[in-house]
Structure 1
Amino acid sequence: MFRLNNSEEFFLYNPYAEDLILMGILSNKDIANFIFSEIDEKLFYLKPNKIIFQNMRNLYLEKKMITPIALIDLLDSQQILKNIGGKKIIHDLGRLHFPMSTIEANAYISILRDKYIKRSLLKLSLILNQLVYSSEEYNQYNFEELILEFTKTIQLKSISELVEIKNLFSPTLSYLRESRDSNDNNPHVKTGFDKIDFYLHSLEKGSLIIIAGRPSIGKTAFALSLIVNICQQKRKPCIIFFTLEMSKTQIISRLMSLDSNLTNMQLIDLKLHDSSELQLKNLFPSISQAHIYIEDKDSITLEEISEIIQKAKQKHKEVDLVIIDYLQLLGKKQDNRAQEIGYITRTLKNNARQFDVPVIALSQLNRNVEQRANKKPLLADLRESGCLSQQSLIFLNSAQLKLQNIENCINYPYLLLETLYLPKQIIKQTLLKQGYQPGNKHLYHIILKNNYNLRLTANHKILTLYGWKRIDSLNLYDHIAIFCKKIQTTQFIPILVICYSNKETIFDLQVPPFKNFIANNIIIHNSIEQDADIVLFLYREDYYSGLTPCNNSAEIIIAKNRNGMTGNILLQFVPEIAKFT
């Protein structure tokens, strides 16, 4: 152990801060609770300290006292006591008892976090250096992974201290007052549809909005109607439209029709190619005064999207709206498409926050909606749900039977499924709403050190010591939650192996009102959390009935709204110019 002086500067690690954290855990149970909730062993640089912290946390998880004797006994039982320098190291850490406050502990944690960030940046810089001097590695390297790692590192830097709610009253009230009173600097963008603005409180800057529907139902027409509405309400707005399906010319012609209320044929008959600039401004008064950028590159990357938004913001100081048509055309169409779509939506959400702009992503619905009698879309139709192997074991309260194959549940829609009510660590029962076969998918095998195991898709969430994590975000340092029915408690077990399993027929469950259930004694999440702040669905009855529409109405279903109400709104559709009103 290092002596407690700070006479020597350490660039990539600080042994004194590491020692003080370990001493704090031994000295104060309350401080130990705080420290274990804030950090894990990856922040420690010195291997002995990393091992000591891991074993302290194991004692903590087993609800045992963390004392020098208990720690020495645990390390000795694993035959790793010599690896950390022997008993003397532990005795030295426990010799000094001092009253460490939460503020002091947080300061030491900040030092460890900063050092870890520097080590991560150094690692990334070495990778970059290697790529520069190796053409072969440069051509084969997945730069999106590098960007993701860099983003994770930067996000660590942005972690702030906890702020008491009483200190947020004044800024929150100021924000609400500015939202109501300010016109030019309003943090919301009005859609021009009064009822939608009432429900959503307009489009909040920094938010991600998904507008979804089946093909040809009018998603692009709705998005273009939004653009014209915004141009009519605000002087010189800056709007960026990324179209991966239609050409720039097609988008411009539709915007001209919407602004002039003339069909394409009427515009052609006017012979506008010889018109003066003033005549064109009079004919298209809203879009001609706006800063509208249309990018129709069909293979655009997320990095290019970020660069274009950044350039527009630098030029105009503010971007009012970004629209992407459509979500499923982004990316590299990798085999694990659910994982890739998740990465895309998280990146778009980060763009919305970084550039302080509402980002609208148009999205296709999956075909689940076609299989139901009621064709109105649901949130489940939007996402790729996490799914389980058909051999997974779930618990059903039907004559105390345990069905080892989820397929057996499909023909019994009224069985009660056991779920875990986490706050009180008790089993509750809920109706098994739906069990179905989405098809064949790639599965990953997770095996715990107590030999519990489960095979499931990469996008499924699983409960860990640090909260819910997707399977593709787990690492070997994570501890997974299992539920022991005999003693009615949750335990966290280290991971032994995470590996690819195979591709096979899988099953999905929808479990209201709880978000979790137990499979193979492991606590898992029933659905993928969406990155979107708002989800709107477009629905037209005539689309599914095949009948000629009698009133040209379309239903906007507000299925998700983080900061407001959900509900249904009717809009009129003008098919001649593809306009929503």
Structure 2
Amino acid sequence: MATLLRLPDETAPAGPRQPLNIDAEKALLGALLVENRLLEELGVPLGEDHFAEPLHGRIFARIRSLVDQNMLASPVTLAPLFANDPALAELGGQAYLASLAEDPAVVLLARDCARQVHDLALLRALIRLGTEMVNRACDTSEAIAPREQIEAAEADLFRIADAGDISGGAQSFAQAATRAVDMVARAKRSGGSISGVTTGFSGLNRTLGGLQRSDLVILAGRPAMGKTALATNIAFNAAWRRALDEEEGRNSGTGAAVAFFSLEMSADQLAARILAQRAELNSERLRKGEIAQEEFNRLARAAEELQHLPLFIDDTPALTVAALRTRARRLKRQHKIGLIVVDYLQLLQGTSRQADGSRVMEVSEITRGLKTLAKELDVPVLALSQLSRQVEARPDKRPQLADLRESGTIEQDADIVLFVFREEYYHAQKRPSDPASDEFRRWQEEEYRLRGLAEVIVGKNRHGATRIIDMVFMSEFASFGDAADET
């Protein structure tokens, strides 16, 4: 049953008259009493709170309750349930119920009346929300937290908007089958490998089929492995594919507008990374400004080329998972985003941290919140995660699922878990001190072999096989690429 955002009655404005139509409410109730089956055919989600007259709301709730019990809802069966209701008694008791159902023609008006009752309820909710916002903003008796008030107002506003969304619920097999066929058709159009949002990497696309809608994908790694670089590459590739589709007037189905929540790096730092990758400039020299005029010109051309890239960066620090959800929903409505990236999971905050400060429980809440967000918006969510230090204690430092830091629910809630691993990083720490020794020569040979090599380990894949995907890492550009045997 639908529930409407309900604010305290004392927030109702005293000035403007509330939008309502009591006659429409009476006609709707009469139609339901004449023909109970209309209850499931109204076309909008209605609840008791949608009725401006509280008595009508109670009558509607009783009708639904009787129908749910496979009982007939009529003036006769309703009368005993309202025997002690003073509001109905004041209107004439059972006679009032009978008057609602005395005109069978109201059955023809049921859907239109239901829509009007629903829409007027939304308008009243907006009025209550607006009044509540004014009252909160004017009240300086407690701590002033305008940003928290704005986020709370956004969340309330989206709850009101969702009161009219009836896209959820059970689907027929025909509907589900149609979506499955569409998914296969997208994979076929892309050359037989991608049914979701492209990662831009052949090996990853072949293994995962792209990033699938409603999936929570965890990308984990130890510091300096390049997980932010890989996530940035994937975000850029998906957004670039979308931009090309729009420019060419086609829809490959594999591109997506991207929302990138960067809790660690600022938006300009992230943009500088993307520009360095696109212009093939050394990111460290770029950061220091140590570039020639020709390189600066390449940077300017890349910036102009990417002016309309559908990549939206939110670098607000210390976001709660609830605030992230609100912002993601807004971006979904405004820009139709098809991929969400979160860098990184451990920097998010939960909303219900326990008194004992259990970080494990908080991370569990965060991962469940991200998975719920992926399903709610029907987009893949790619969340970066740290790994525990126990990786460093093993001779083979390739990460495993047990290394996911702080909570086993990360592994449980994720549909796909990817690990980034670069043996080159660990080999560099073993450099012998004597450059003239045989040990140093052997170390150097191995260093040449490992230079630029990287692995993306598919540790969990709810849709298929797990494997190790060979890739190359260009450290000067902070960028990944396909290995020769993965193209």
Normalising TM by the smaller chain, what interval? 0.5 to 0.7
CA displacement, residues 383-414 of structure 1 (integer Å, 9 cap, x when unaligned): 859xxxxxxxxxxxxxxxxxxxxxxxxxxxxx
Corresponding residue to 1:128 among 125, 133, 142: 133
How many residue pairs match? The answer is 399
Corresponding residue to 2:417 among 514, 532, 537: 537
Q: Contact 1:327–1:362 (CA<8 Å) still a contact in 2?
A: yes
CA separation of 1:137/1:113 partners in 2, compared to 1, >3 Å: closer, same or farther? farther
Letter in 1 for 2:456: A
Give the C-alpha shift of residue 297 in structure 1.
5.0
| Alignment-derived partner of residue 345 in structure 2 | 327
Separation in structure 2 between the aligned mates of residue 37 and residue 154 of structure 1, nearest angstrom: 13
CA displacement, residues 133-192 of structure 1 (integer Å, 9 cap, x when unaligned): 333368256443322221011123455799999999999999997997699xx9975322
Please show how residues 221-370 of structure 1 align to structure 2 within 5 Å.
Answer: 221-227=229-235, 241-246=260-265, 273-278=290-295, 281=298, 289-291=305-307, 296=315, 298-299=317-318, 302=324, 323-331=341-349, 334-335=352-353, 337=362, 360-363=382-385
Q: Contact 2:27–2:106 (CA<8 Å) still a contact in 1?
A: no
SS in structure 2 at match of 1:100? helix
Q: Contact 1:552–1:573 (CA<8 Å) still a contact in 2?
A: yes
Separation in structure 1 between the aligned mates of residue 219 and residue 59 of structure 2, nearest angstrom: 50
Please show how residues 54-203 of structure 1 align to structure 2 within 5 Å.
Answer: 54-76=61-83, 82=89, 85-98=92-105, 100=107, 104-136=109-141, 139=144, 142-159=149-166, 189-198=197-206, 201-203=209-211
CA separation of 1:556/1:77 partners in 2, compared to 1, >3 Å: closer, same or farther? same
Separation in structure 2 between the aligned mates of residue 64 and residue 32 of structure 1, nearest angstrom: 13
| Residue 23 (str. 1) matches residue 36 (str. 2) | no
Separation in structure 2 between the aligned mates of residue 320 and residue 32 of structure 1, nearest angstrom: 35
Give the C-alpha shift of residue 108 in structure 1.
1.8
Letter in 1 for 2:227: K
Give the C-alpha shift of residue 572 in structure 1.
1.6
CA separation of 1:138/1:87 partners in 2, compared to 1, >3 Å: closer, same or farther? farther
Give the C-alpha shift of residue 115 in structure 1.
1.1
| Alignment-derived partner of residue 444 in structure 1 | none
Higher share of residues assigned strand: 1
Separation in structure 2 between the aligned mates of residue 343 and residue 171 of structure 1, nearest angstrom: 25
Give the C-alpha shift of residue 307 in structure 1.
11
Please show how residues 383-462 of structure 1 align to structure 2 within 5 Å.
Answer: none
Q: Contact 2:204–2:210 (CA<8 Å) still a contact in 1?
A: yes
CA displacement, residues 419-438 of structure 1 (integer Å, 9 cap, x when unaligned): xxxxxxxxxxxxxxxxxxxx
| Alignment-derived partner of residue 571 in structure 1 | 469
Letter in 1 for 2:298: K
SS in structure 1 at match of 2:144? helix
Separation in structure 2 between the aligned mates of residue 377 and residue 84 of structure 1, nearest angstrom: 67
| Residue 45 (str. 1) matches residue 52 (str. 2) | yes
Q: Contact 2:195–2:210 (CA<8 Å) still a contact in 1?
A: no
Q: Contact 1:349–1:359 (CA<8 Å) still a contact in 2?
A: no
| Alignment-derived partner of residue 433 in structure 2 | none
Give the C-alpha shift of residue 306 in structure 1.
6.1
Q: Contact 2:28–2:113 (CA<8 Å) still a contact in 1?
A: yes
Give the C-alpha shift of residue 264 in structure 1.
7.5
TM-score normalised by L of structure 2? 0.59
Letter in 2 for 1:18: E
Separation in structure 1 between the aligned mates of residue 63 and residue 268 of structure 2, nearest angstrom: 64
Give the C-alpha shift of residue 536 in structure 1.
2.7
| Residue 554 (str. 1) matches residue 456 (str. 2) | yes
- Identity in percent: 20
Q: Which protein has greater RCO, CA pairs closer than 8 Å, 6+ apart?
A: 2
Separation in structure 1 between the aligned mates of residue 460 and residue 168 of structure 2, nearest angstrom: 35
Letter in 1 for 2:161: I
Give the C-alpha shift of residue 113 in structure 1.
0.6
Higher share of residues assigned helix: 2
Q: Contact 1:18–1:49 (CA<8 Å) still a contact in 2?
A: yes
Give the C-alpha shift of residue 49 in structure 1.
1.3
CA separation of 1:55/1:556 partners in 2, compared to 1, >3 Å: closer, same or farther? same
Give the C-alpha shift of residue 363 in structure 1.
4.2
Unaligned 5+ runs, structure 2: 1-16, 248-254, 355-361, 392-398, 431-445, 483-487
Letter in 2 for 1:568: T
CA separation of 1:84/1:57 partners in 2, compared to 1, >3 Å: closer, same or farther? farther
Letter in 2 for 1:362: L
| Alignment-derived partner of residue 211 in structure 1 | 218
CA displacement, residues 10-53 of structure 1 (integer Å, 9 cap, x when unaligned): 96222222122222222223224545994221211212212222
Unaligned 5+ runs, structure 1: 1-9, 386-526
Separation in structure 1 between the aligned mates of residue 259 and residue 54 of structure 2, nearest angstrom: 50
| Alignment-derived partner of residue 398 in structure 1 | none
